[in-house]
Amino acid sequence: MLELSGISRRFGATHALEDVSLALSEGEVLGLVGPNGAGKSTLIKIIAGADRPDAGEIRIDGTPVQFHSAHDAYAAGIRVIHQDAPLVPGFDTVENCYLGRAYPRRFGRIDRKAMRRAIAEVAADIAPELDLDLPVMFLPPAERQFVRLLRAVADKGRLLILDEPTAALPAEDAERFYDVLRRTRERGTSIILVSHRLDEIADFCGRAVVIRDGRIVARFVESEVKPESMIAAMGGSASERSTRATDTSAPKIIEIDGVTAGDLTRPAALDVHAGEVIALYGLAGSGRSSLLNAIWGAIPWVGKMRLAGADYAPRSPRQAIARGVSCVPADRHRSGLFVSEDLVFNKTLPLLSGYRRLRGLPVPDVKAEQAEFVVAAERVSLSYGDPKQLARTLSGGNQQKLIFARWANRHSKVMLLDEPTEGVDVMAKATIKDIIRAIAADGNAVLVSTSDRDEALELGDRIAVFRQGGIVRVFTRAEASAEALSAAAQSREAA
Amino acid sequence: MTRTNLNRFGTLIAFVLLCIGFSIAAPAAFASPANVFNLVQQMATLAIVATAATLVMTISEFDLSVGFSASLAAVICFVLFGQGYDVWLAVPAALLVGIVGGAANGVLVARFGIPSFVATLALGTILSGFAFGLSGGQSLFQSVPDGFKSLARGDVFGIPVLGFWIVAVLGVAAFVLTQTEFGRRLRAIGGNAQAARLAGLPIVRDVIVTFAIAGGLSALAGLLLASRLGSVQHTMGEPLLLPAYAAVFIGTTASPTGAPTVAGTLLGVAITGVMVNGMTIVGVEPFVQKIMTGVIILVAVLLRRVGRAR
């Protein structure tokens, strides 16, 4: 139904896209893969009418079209679904699906029954388990994704473009999401899937294209769609699972005993040794992030903690920093970055008082800051143009590295990482994993909270699995396998 | 010149054009030393209140009590004079009331999580009640100590004393915002409060201190206004509120990221000041002046929007 031929787009001297050609038929799923900054977003914008190509042609059902705005593309049935596209929290699914659409009317009043009928008809096809009458604020994150999908399909969407639809979902929920997507495809809807999770692309897409530096560098069909081949086409190499065993003779850095906090409702106990990486794996809301936040002093907690042999009771991140704890929070946009400030500002903020030129005078020495920034940036292999550029101009992976850089010039004892590779491309992912291992090798106790099972397996010297507000089991590397982790993390039996 | 530069300096260029325009229209009256002197005096109190607003807007909050704090400080000062107290007691007492009122705003916002718009409106209304009560609702004109008169009247080497106040207050504020750790933290809190908290910044303390400074600056502006006019009314500070925020918003159009800056605010104060002064000299009717001032604010902010959308 969709054909692109020779699409090019330039921004100044850089070619964001060069001679890109694609075709997609009805009910077909195409995977779109590439490093951050490769041109994926530009391509999506062009297909969705939000940007116009400098050259090339777009055809829908064989007819050349020109999208002058996102409206035109919408009218042609093209729907872009962002993973965090806003829904109105207090509206139920039916009302959310009708946002921005003309309401059916009966005697001049909104015909709520007709609305519900129309949505229920589509929902029965693709997501029968979804509760249509509950305000979406009460739905779990996975089902909110169903709502976004339903909204796109119900309003005559013929081509769905999904950008990282499962980035915020744990593996189990991602599978449910793909079930829904599969049923959507069976109705004849075409889908373009953009994801950094290459195994999902491999499982779900009949075809995949790899974009690099604005060009399509590889096309794969059916059985060729494999993570290894896609990584190779992107210019990276597949990461390997570390085989290091835990050194239990190393001193215990952090001891957690009977701690409850936030989602962590059952007392947790865990010791982490120097130089060890512990992966905290579980669904969203299973308590793993709450444990990290408790150690960071960011949320109220009860229980007992010891750090390097002394009592440790942080009531704020400030106190945690003073004791040698460092943290890279989840969701860098909400909790980490200052996008309208420059890179140096973002890097030095938490330890700013360490840059005084005159002791006691709280005026930072800008030159010293910049010098340390350059060193730290090198350590986390941050690629940037100018230390004074704004943080928003970096790609996702580099933004994440920037947060890592905050702690790169000091000796921490404990490093807390919450979803450190979320929304980051494969290459940056590999670098970040190397950084994490280097931090541990430096003698840090590292705690990595993740919803990505493979990442837990790859990084964790031990893996603590969380379920329903408590640690259910701690696996050693030898005991851990994908199946065992999933089985331990599944919470369905109680639902 | 690139488009972004045009945006950034557009506001400054508009200001210069405005000055040139009025100088041509009324060369004798507008560009005369006496009028410039007068203009600086008129701008001073607004500049200081607008600086208070700038600090609070840097942490992405509002302080609607600035005008009320200014009135209350002036009333307290004059009431104390009436009781025979000296300048050295009356002025610090009045400033302290402003600081405490501001800190109370900060506590309501930072500790109790009340939206600043609501908290400062409520507290400001309470302050205005005190000002009303203490003044008995009447203008206060008692004999004012000479030391107090000299706060805002007269000149040094031909430069109005209030001009020095502008330089001192705005200079210190600009230095604090751009050069110090405190200023850095305020920008962080305003940019992303959640991230600032997770980066270990003492947010509650910083927010309270910011509101306290804003309250203190408002009180100072009230005292300077009282010194210049020689009399006090319990509502005298209220008309400062909207122009102060107007100045900050005009000023944000001159900053690269749209964040408030002290320099931008000064430009905003100057533009509105020159508009009103110039139009009065040229003989534009007061109601037209108001309409024109509103249009200027909208045009400045709209140009910025259009420029950014590209």
The domain A2-234 having CATH identifier 3.90.470.10: the answer here is no
Quote the CA–CA distance of A206 and A222 in Å, as a whole number: 5
Query: Sorting pLDDT into bands at 50, 70 and 90, what band is A302?
Result: very high
Cα separation values, A209 from A20, A270, A428, B219, Å:
11, 44, 20, 65
> Mean per-residue pLDDT for B34-54?
93
> Mean per-residue pLDDT for A196-223?
87
Q: How far is A319 from chain B (nearest CA, A)?
A: 8
Interface check for A321 against chain B (CB to CB < 8 A): the answer is: yes
C-alpha Rg value of chain A to the nearest Å:
24
Query: Which of A78-92, A232-246, A250-264 is the most confident on average?
Result: A250-264
- Domain B3-309 is of which CATH architecture? Orthogonal Bundle (1.10)
Query: Sorting pLDDT into bands at 50, 70 and 90, what band is B1?
Result: very low
Q: What does the domain layout of chain B look like in residue ranges?
A: 3-309
Q: Are A189 and A201 in contact (CB under 8 A)?
A: no
Return the H-helix or E-strand segment holding A212.
strand A207-212
Residues B211-249 have pLDDT tens digits of 999 999 999 999 999 999 988 999 999 999 999 999 999
pLDDT at A31: 93
Over 70: is that where the pLDDT of B10 sits?
yes
Residues B133-183 have pLDDT tens digits of 998 888 888 778 888 888 888 888 888 889 999 999 999 999 999 999 999
Over 70: is that where the pLDDT of A66 sits?
yes
pLDDT at A493: 41
Q: Where do we find the tokens 């081949």?
A: A229
Query: Sorting pLDDT into bands at 50, 70 and 90, what band is B105?
Result: very high
Which B residues in the span 229-288 are in contact with A, Cβ-Cβ below 8 Å?
A: 257-259
**Strand residue runs (E) in chain B:** 155-156, 159-160
pLDDT at A494: 38
C-alpha Rg value of chain B to the nearest Å:
20
Q: Where in the sequence of chain A do the CATH 3.40.50.300 domains occur?
A: 2-234, 252-494
Which residue blocks in A78-212 are alpha helix, DSSP H? Answer: 93-97, 112-126, 141-154, 171-186, 198-204
pLDDT at B8: 66
Q: Give the residue among A437, A416, A412 at the shortest CA–CA distance from A289.
A: A416
A64-73, A80-89, A291-300, B128-137: range with lowest mean pLDDT: A80-89
Backbone angles phi, psi at A6, to 5 degrees: 60, 35
Q: Are A261 and A289 in contact (CB under 8 A)?
A: no
pLDDT at B310: 43
Over 80: is that where the pLDDT of A395 sits?
yes
- Report the amino acid identity of residue A50: A
Which B residues in the span 181-240 are in contact with A, Cβ-Cβ below 8 Å?
A: 181-182, 184-185, 187-188, 191-192, 194-202
Give this complex's ipTM. Answer: 0.85
**Which residue of chain B has the CA closest to A317?**
B200
**Which residue of chain A has the CA closest to B180?**
A363
Which residues in chain B are closer than 8 Å to A320, comparing Cβ atoms? 200
A332-336, B6-10, B80-84: range with lowest mean pLDDT: B6-10
Tell me the average pLDDT of chain B. Answer: 90
Instruction: Tell me whether strands A190-194 and A159-163 are parallel, antiparallel or unpaired.
Output: parallel
Indicate the CATH number of A252-494 among 3.30.1540.20, 3.30.70.980, 3.40.50.150, 3.40.50.300: 3.40.50.300
DSSP A351: G
Q: Are A456 and A435 in contact (CB under 8 A)?
A: no
Query: Which of A79-88, A204-213, A415-424, B48-57 is the most confident on average?
Result: B48-57
**What does chain A come to in residues?**
495
Q: Are A2 and A28 in contact (CB under 8 A)?
A: no
Q: Give the residue among B61, B74, B70, B72 at the shortest CA–CA distance from B119.
A: B61
Interface check for A350 against chain B (CB to CB < 8 A): the answer is: yes
**Which residues neighbour B94 within 8 Å (Cβ) at sequence distance 6 or greater?**
B73, B74, B76, B77, B80, B219, B222, B223
